[in-house]
């Protein structure tokens, strides 16, 4: 059966929701009109380099936009950059990324291919790997591709200009990255490519290469970079402000509740399908004092937790949050760990990944952010000696752990 697509204006309204760049809307309109007339879905490509083992909510902004195209009836390709991940995207980077091994990329790719189905429809999602054509391109093909772009044009990029000006090394292989990403679009004959707003220059290279190849250039649509739980920096696991798609329900719920109130409006827009008119109405109600932001943030936390862990787990996470944070209780499902031999408190906190470093652990203890058996601990060098019963460690407001010292 041929697909039936909604009216073009309706499609553009959903496609452009929360978007940063759309290059260009007139071309997109023509593609959508042709798609409706011929009952042929657009090919929508989104590339994800398998540079880390887990996806987080920052990645889900793009997945959500892919789902919009999917819901409209278009052909969505989740492209895993298993070849380009071994180079590393230089976009926005102040230094050359460490290069990954083929084995690291393969392992990461396997996890990506499963995690995307928290959002995308498994039956209607195509998963591709760009090694399929980039391996086949070979050395001669890559040299030929490099001859289609000048160094002067590549150095117009802000990230490269800043690094060159600051005498920070730019490796030759980094210059190849946008060309290879652009070649992906040629191989797939993409109608639309999606990316983060920091990817705009790379996506424009794809448009240029497609024109030179005699293909209709792809439309580009970029989405914002999601601000992390700290309310300041882009969400990143390395910055400690990320919520992983595979985290426990209590962690997803609790971390969402920790975000600044002002941030939840962007999260509602980018991470849910709440109508924009309803988001604006609720924002007005909070501003007028009619609606408390905590209640709205709890709804956001419940919806995100339900999406990734199911309704039952979300309901349990809400109840646990109320018990732990509103009533001062302890979670029912506590993680546990064991350590051999006595250990200083700060060292234990660091070793158990409850702090980023030993120095950070000492600071947390000295600030009164660590308790042992419900008693605030102020001495980072206090010794946790072996005993039959586990110690109950609490770091900050949300992190609990049963520690057995043998």
| Rounded-to-integer distance, Cα 364 and Cα 91, Å | 34
Sign of CA dihedral 268, 224, 42, 27: positive
Report DSSP letters for 358-389, one per residue.
HHHHHHHHHTT-EEETTEE---TT-EE---SS
The predicted-structure confidence for 96-153, as pLDDT tens digits, reads as follows 456 667 777 777 778 887 888 999 999 999 999 999 999 998 889 988 988 888 788 7
Each residue's pLDDT tens digit, 209-255:
999 899 999 999 999 999 999 899 999 887 888 999 999 998 899 89
Residues 6+ apart with CB under 8 A from 263: 227, 231
The residue written with tokens 């979300």 in the block is 314
CATH number of 336-405: 3.10.290.10
- For the chain, the structural domain boundaries read 8-223, 247-326, 336-405
Window from 42-46, 163-167, 181-185, 299-303 with minimum mean pLDDT = 163-167
The 3-state DSSP class for residue 171 equals: coil
What's this model's pTM, rounded to 2 decimal places?
0.76
CA 173 – CA 349 distance, rounded (Å): 40
Confidence at residue 64, expressed as pLDDT on a 0 to 100 scale? 94
CATH class of 247-326: mainly alpha
Among 3.40.50.620, 3.40.50.1950, 3.90.1480.20, 3.10.20.30, name the CATH number for the domain at 8-223.
Answer: 3.40.50.620
Long-range contacts of 134-142 (CB under 8 A, 24+ apart): 134/83, 134/84, 134/180, 134/183, 134/184, 135/83, 137/183, 142/176, 142/180
Tell me how many degrees the CA angle 107-111-115 measures, rounded to the nearest 5: 170
Give the confidence band of 93 by pLDDT, cuts at 50, 70, 90: very low
**Fold match between domain 8-223 and domain 247-326:** no
């Amino acid at each position: 059966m041929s697909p039936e697509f909604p009216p073009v204006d309706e499609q553009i309204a959903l496609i452009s929701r929360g978007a940063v760049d759309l290059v260009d809307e007139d071309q997109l309109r023509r593609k959508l009109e042709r798609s409706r007339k011929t009952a042929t879905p657009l090919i929508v490509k989104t590339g994800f380099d398998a540079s880390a083992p887990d996806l987080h909510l920052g990645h889900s902004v793009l997945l959500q936009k892919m789902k919009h195209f999917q819901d409209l009836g278009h052909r969505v390709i989740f492209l895993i950059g298993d070849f380009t991940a071994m180079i590393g995207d230089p976009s926005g980077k102040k230094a050359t990324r460490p290069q990954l091994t083929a084995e690291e990329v393969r392992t990461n790719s396997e996890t990506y291919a499963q995690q995307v189905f928290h959002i995308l429809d498994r039956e209607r999602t195509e998963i591709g790997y760009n090694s399929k054509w980039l391996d086949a391109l070979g050395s001669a093909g890559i040299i030929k591709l490099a001859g289609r772009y000048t160094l002067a044009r590549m150095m117009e990029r802000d990230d490269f200009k800043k690094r060159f000006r600051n005498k920070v090394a730019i490796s030759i292989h980094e210059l190849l990255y946008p060309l290879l990403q652009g070649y992906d679009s040629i191989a797939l004959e993409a109608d639309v490519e999606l990316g983060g707003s920091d990817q705009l220059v790379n996506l424009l290279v794809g448009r240029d290469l497609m024109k030179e190849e005699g293909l209709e250039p792809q439309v580009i649509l970029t989405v914002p970079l999601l601000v992390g739980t700290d309310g300041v920096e882009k969400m990143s696991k390395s910055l400690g402000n990320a919520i992983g798609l595979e985290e426990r329900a209590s962690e997803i719920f609790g971390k969402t509740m920790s975000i600044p109130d002002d941030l939840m409006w962007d999260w509602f827009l980018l991470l849910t399908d709440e109508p924009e008119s309803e988001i604006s109405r609720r924002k007005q109600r909070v501003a007028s004092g009619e609606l408390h932001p905590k209640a709205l943030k709890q709804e956001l936390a419940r919806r995100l937790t339900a999406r990734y862990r199911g309704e039952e787990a979300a309901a349990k996470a809400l109840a646990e949050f109320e018990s732990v944070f509103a009533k001062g209780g302890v979670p029912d499902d506590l993680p546990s760990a064991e350590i051999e031999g006595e250990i200083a408190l700060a060292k234990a906190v660091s070793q158990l990944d409850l702090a980023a470093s030993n120095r950070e652990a000492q600071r947390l203890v000295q600030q009164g952010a660590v308790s042992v058996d419900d008693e605030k601990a102020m001495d980072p060098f206090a010794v946790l000696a072996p005993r039959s019963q586990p110690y109950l460690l609490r770091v900050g407001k949300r992190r609990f752990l049963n520690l057995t010292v043998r």
